[in-house]
Amino acid sequence: MARYAVYLHFELLEVVPKRGAQQKKILGFIQSLAENPFDKGDFTDKDETFRTRQIKIVGDYAITYWADHPAKIMMIVDISLADN
């Protein structure tokens, strides 16, 4: 399987800790999506266009993403603190 490109807005990284275990987990998960684009999240939701998005809990953070399989692209659309 071809490796997918992963896209995200730089501003999303502002909520990610600048160092430490949480940062490693988050960045590791984002990198893993390039190799494993069919990985499912822990939850799903729909955006305003009714596209299904995956939500993965990584440490204390929720990462929302969706795949464009024909284009081989992973889109990271949100990184935020997960609700407890």
Long-range Cβ contacts of 58-62 (<8 Å, 24+ apart):
58/25, 58/26, 58/29, 59/21, 59/22, 59/25, 59/26, 60/22, 61/15, 61/16, 61/22, 61/26
Domain topology for 5-81: YaeB-like fold (3.30.2310)
Measure CA 48 to chain center.
18
Res 75: pLDDT:
97
pLDDT of residue 84: 56
Q: What is the mean pLDDT of residues 56-64?
A: 96
As beta bridge partners, residue 7 has 75
pLDDT score of 1 more than 90: no
Domain-wise residue ranges, the chain: 5-81
Whether pLDDT at 34 is above 60: yes
Cut 0.95: pTM above it:
no
Q: What is the average per-residue pLDDT within 52-76?
A: 96
